[in-house]
Amino acid sequence: YAYVENRKGNYVVSQDICDKYYREGEVEKALSRALKQNRIEAWFQPIYSVEKDAVIGAEALARLKDPDLGYIPPDEFIRVSERTGEIMEVGRQVFERVCELLSTGEPGRLGINKINVNLSPAQCMNDQLAFELSAVADKYGVSLASINFEITETSFIDSQLIQKQMMQLKEKGATFSLDDFGTGTSNLIRLLKLPIRAVKLDIYMVNTFFKGESNILPSLVKMFREAGMQVVAEGVETREMKEALADMGCDYEQGYYFSKPLPPEEFITFLANYSVSGKNGN
Ligand code: C2E
Ligand code: MG
Ligand code: MG
Ligand code: MG
């Protein structure tokens, strides 16, 4: 309840709500500071290919470390940035970090084909999106062919606008995945018509299956594959999950079982060790 009755019998805003607004204000300040100082980080979480039995990709995840508040979860500062309009700048800084890493050539040498970059619905409303992303990639001498963008269903609200941006990015070699499948209101028919190569099954959806609360997962995986899409499972935390999802027909897997998201240097170290002593053989 937003309002509670105090000892004097007056209705006042509850402590919970006060705390929530106070925190939002703090996050908002921390975010503006970080953006001005170009301090938004990108961390990288490996993506495992079942067919290759190797890590072939990674998802870039935004990180914000404030000197006073410590690390602020992206769910929190991304939402704030969408409200303040700073999401474009957050997205730009994350993309710069991704291009910075790709321009070293290290990920490519260590078997990474593509890096996944999240685009928020607000970014997808920008008719300069393809132009702006291309400009950043060019600046670093990076080809968009090494980028796979993750977008959610909400981004297709202005379907014309985003599809035009997607076509422009696709011409330069970029590909697209549908993120968070299973959390929204899915229109499967429409979904299969979009220029999307892979579907990422949301952690929540994967967990419901492994907790025995729903058994729809195997049929969904089968359906997407029959429709010609690749399937990525998120939130893979155990070897049992890894194997069951591979048996189900998932093409790619991502989760703490392989690795948590890592800062760029640690990600490179992970790749170097994984391909030498990982399940890759040798
Ligand atoms: P997402 O794109 O669905 O990213 C997956 C989230 O699941 C990440 O959380 C990741 O750390 C977490 N995760 C990965 N493996 C496991 C696992 O095995 N178990 C569990 N419990 N969690 C796992 P994170 O980094 O906190 O990001 C949360 C969300 O924030 C992302 O969800 C994405 O929607 C958004 N986000 C993050 N970075 C960006 C960005 O650069 N741009 C935009 N627009 N959104 C971003
Ligand atoms: Mg994602
Ligand atoms: Mg996801
Ligand atoms: Mg998610």
Q: Give the confidence band of 84 by pLDDT, cuts at 50, 70, 90.
A: very high
pLDDT over 80 (residue 185): no
pTM of the model: 0.93
Using DSSP, state whether 201 is helix, strand or coil: strand
pLDDT, residue 1, reads 63
61 CA to centre of ligand 1 in angstroms: 6
**Is the beta carbon of 182 within 6 A of some atom in ligand 1?**
no
Least confident of 5-9, 118-122, 145-149, 252-256: 5-9
Using DSSP, state whether 40 is helix, strand or coil: coil
Residue type, 126: N
pLDDT over 70 (residue 123): yes
Beta strand segments in 19-67, E:
41-49, 54-66
Q: Give the confidence band of 32 by pLDDT, cuts at 50, 70, 90.
A: very high
Residue type, 147: I
- 8 Å CB contact between 30 and 64: yes
Q: Which of 29, 2, 34 is nearest to 15 (CA)?
A: 2
**Is the beta carbon of 24 within 6 A of some atom in ligand 1?**
no
Quick: pLDDT tens for 128-182.
Answer: 999 999 999 999 999 999 999 999 988 887 788 999 999 999 999 999 999 998 8
- Most confidently modeled of 20-29, 177-186, 233-242? 233-242
pLDDT over 50 (residue 281): no
Q: Which of 277, 278, 272, 276 is nearest to 257 (CA)?
A: 278
Residue type, 144: L
**Is the beta carbon of 11 within 6 A of some atom in ligand 1?**
no
3-state helix, strand, coil in the chain (%, to 5): 50, 20, 30
pLDDT, mean over the chain:
92
**Average of pLDDT values for 210-217?**
94
Q: In angstroms, rounded to a whole number, what is the distance separating the alpha carbons of residues 57 and 40?
A: 21
Q: Which of 27, 41, 61 to mutate to test the pocket of ligand 1 (most atoms within 8 A of CB)?
A: 61
The interface pTM score, or ipTM, of the predicted complex is 0.97
Backbone phi, psi, residue 127, to 5°: -80, 0
**Average of pLDDT values for 179-192?**
79
Percent of the chain beyond pLDDT 70? 96
| Nearby residues for ligand 2 (ion, Cβ within 5 Å) | 118, 150, 179
- For tokens 């602020």, the residue is 72
**Average of pLDDT values for 93-121?**
97
